[in-house]
Amino acid sequence: MNFVTLKDLLPLVPEIIILFTCFIVILVDLFAPKKNRMTTLAVTSLVGIGLALFAEFQLFGSNPTGFYGTVVSDPYSILFESLYLIVAGVTVFISLHYIAEQEMNYGEYYVLLLSALVGMMVMTSSLEMLVIFIGLEIMSISSYILVGMKRRVALSNEAALKYLLLGAFSTGFLLYGISLLYGATGTTYLPGIIESLQQGPFFSNPLAVAGVGLVIISMSFKIAIVPFHMWTPDVYTGAPTPVTGFLSAAAKAAGFAVFLRVLLTGIPLESENWKNLLWILAVLTMTVGNLMALRQNSVKRMLAYSSIAHAGYVMVAAVAGSAEALSGIFFYSCAYALMGTGAFGILTIRDLGKVPQTYDDLAGYGKRFPLPAFMMTLFMLSLVGLPLTGGFIAKLQIFSAALDEGLIWLTVIGVLNSALSVYYYLRVVVFMYMREGAIPEGVSEKDNQLPGFAVAGLAGTAVAVLYLGIFPETLLNLATDSISALL
């Protein structure tokens, strides 16, 4: 009997492409001429990402499985993996000029970015808890190093250490939860877990209850749900800005993808006790994230806290639990990934000799950089959830689904929190267009130059945000079909 055949590798073709791209990037870093090395590395990474994205499209609808059903390429995993690939591509676009200006010309930057991408894709396409753990660790270890890539900056080193320690802490919860679930059910295969748990009253099995609780805690760390959010502001602030955008978009989407798959195929949530727990987590996450974002003077730190609030909005859909709500989770993840990556991408563009950090640094930005300022305004309006943007459709989908399930108070709290966010998002727009910034001595506005590579990637992101706000039907239908197949 053949233990592994070529057919088993079919659902992992995109992951294999990215893995081979990692090897090629290493060779390019060793042998490419130093003058054009970083551009060659970026282009090589983009080619690999493009090929993997093409492979995802080819696999769509065929639903291949491998390794005894533990790895699957279903519409659910393909949609999420395509999102990671798009975010990674935009990250490459906005990284080229940034790593040169910040003296981060390390070839391993792209290798780590691609390896983190492989980890996200593996954990999303797996139905086996131990394989999910392996993918999570590949993503996490690469992310820890990426956060500390600004080796000469103490804030970056501190962020990497905090991320490592708290990430290891959450990994311990996950492993212990998996071991308890194995003890309760005799398997780590997600469909097998739910089949075993459905044979008797769930809450009569203390091992299963404890295992589920520990897995939820671990996943809550990864997607920054209150009270497991404490690492987010410091890590997002200290990390290189393109890495921050990548973590806030792709890594968080990967966390929600696994969280959702585990809840749907491995853990029965029919009990009101679980609903009440998720309800409380959603309210705490929305409220704490928004209140803390109001207090920030650093734009990057504000976006970090706002990402926590957005995780709370997504949790509203998890509480609702309907097919419409769960498809809204993917749409929201997609919209937020584009908005967040775009907003952090704008903050990589050097202005008046420095990278913008605070609201005051953005004063007069609209006059000096009209195109980036317009795109930043679009991203802020979408994060608020105004019509004709992807953010509006995403919030509408989630809150309407919650109302359909009778979650009136949770919807009201979500809408109020969304209204609260208007202040700190529009504050960015006010500073860009309505405040005059002081120009440092020896610096001229003529010295400002737009990095063409980054602007091209950000322009594509801005167009995508508008497209999702005006023509959301295609993505919503794909998300609904994938969730229906998963259910």
Length of the chain in residues, anyone?
Answer: 487
Is the pLDDT at 24 greater than 70, yes or no? yes
Confidence at 376, pLDDT banded by 50, 70, 90? very high
Query: For residues 52 and 403, what is the distance between their CA atoms, to the nearest angstrom?
Result: 38
CA-nearest of 142, 338, 139 to 255 is 139
Is the pLDDT at 269 greater than 70, yes or no? no
Is the pLDDT at 486 greater than 80, yes or no? no
Query: For residues 445 and 5, what is the distance between their CA atoms, to the nearest angstrom?
Result: 61
Please report, in angstroms and rounded to a whole number, the separation of the first and last CA atoms in the chain.
Answer: 33
> Helix 252-265 to helix 299-320 angle, to the nearest 10 degrees?
10
By percentage, how much of the chain surpasses pLDDT 90? 44
Q: What is the mean pLDDT of residues 90-97?
A: 91
- The strand pairing partners of 66, in sequence order, are 71
Query: For residues 387 and 407, what is the distance between their CA atoms, to the nearest angstrom?
Result: 23
Residue 145: what pLDDT? Answer: 92
More confident residue, 131 or 353: 131
Query: For residues 128 and 131, what is the distance between their CA atoms, to the nearest angstrom?
Result: 5
Is the pLDDT at 2 greater than 90, yes or no? no
Is the pLDDT at 272 greater than 80, yes or no? no
* pLDDT tens digits for range 50-81: 999 999 999 887 888 888 888 888 888 899 99
Residue 271: what pLDDT? Answer: 59
Residue pair 294/300 in contact (Cβ under 8 Å)? The answer is no
Give the DSSP H or E segment for 353.
none
Residue pair 48/13 in contact (Cβ under 8 Å)? The answer is no
All residues at 6 or more sequence positions from 215 whose CB lies less than 8 Å from its CB, including other chains: 173, 174, 177, 178, 181, 262, 267
Residue 356: what pLDDT? Answer: 85
Q: What is the mean pLDDT of residues 310-316?
A: 91
Query: For residues 25 and 40, what is the distance between their CA atoms, to the nearest angstrom?
Result: 9
Residue 49: what pLDDT? Answer: 95
Confidence at 445, pLDDT banded by 50, 70, 90? low
Query: For residues 130 and 190, what is the distance between their CA atoms, to the nearest angstrom?
Result: 10
Q: What is the mean pLDDT of residues 423-442?
A: 82
More confident residue, 291 or 37: 291
Query: For residues 193 and 185, what is the distance between their CA atoms, to the nearest angstrom?
Result: 6
Give the DSSP H or E segment for 54.
helix 37-59
* pLDDT tens digits for range 162-197: 999 888 888 889 999 999 988 888 888 888 887 787
Q: Between vectors from CA 210 to CA 204 and to CA 212, what angle results, nearest 5°?
A: 100
* pLDDT tens digits for range 320-368: 878 888 888 889 999 999 999 999 999 998 877 778 888 888 888 888 8
**Which of helix, strand or coil describes residue 66?**
strand
- The strand pairing partners of 298, in sequence order, are 358
Is the pLDDT at 86 greater than 70, yes or no? yes
Query: For residues 242 and 99, what is the distance between their CA atoms, to the nearest angstrom?
Result: 9
The reported pTM is 0.93
Q: What is the mean pLDDT of residues 288-317?
A: 92
Residue 437: what pLDDT? Answer: 66
Is the pLDDT at 226 greater than 90, yes or no? no
How is residue 440 written in tokens? Answer: 């440092």
* pLDDT tens digits for range 194-204: 778 777 666 67
Q: What is the mean pLDDT of residues 96-106?
A: 81
* Average pLDDT score over the chain: 87
Q: What is the mean pLDDT of residues 432-450?
A: 69
* pLDDT tens digits for range 380-408: 999 998 999 999 999 999 999 999 888 89
More confident residue, 213 or 460: 460
- The strand pairing partners of 358, in sequence order, are 298
Q: What is the 3-state secondary structure (H, E, C) of 304-351?
A: HHHHHHHHHHHHHHHHHCCHHHHHHHHHHHHHHHHHHHHHHHHCCCCE
Half-sphere exposure of 328 (CA within 13 A, CB side): 27
Residue 301: what pLDDT? Answer: 92
Query: For residues 201 and 178, what is the distance between their CA atoms, to the nearest angstrom?
Result: 20
Residue 442: what pLDDT? Answer: 57
How is residue 191 written in tokens? Answer: 């469909």
Query: For residues 111 and 54, what is the distance between their CA atoms, to the nearest angstrom?
Result: 20
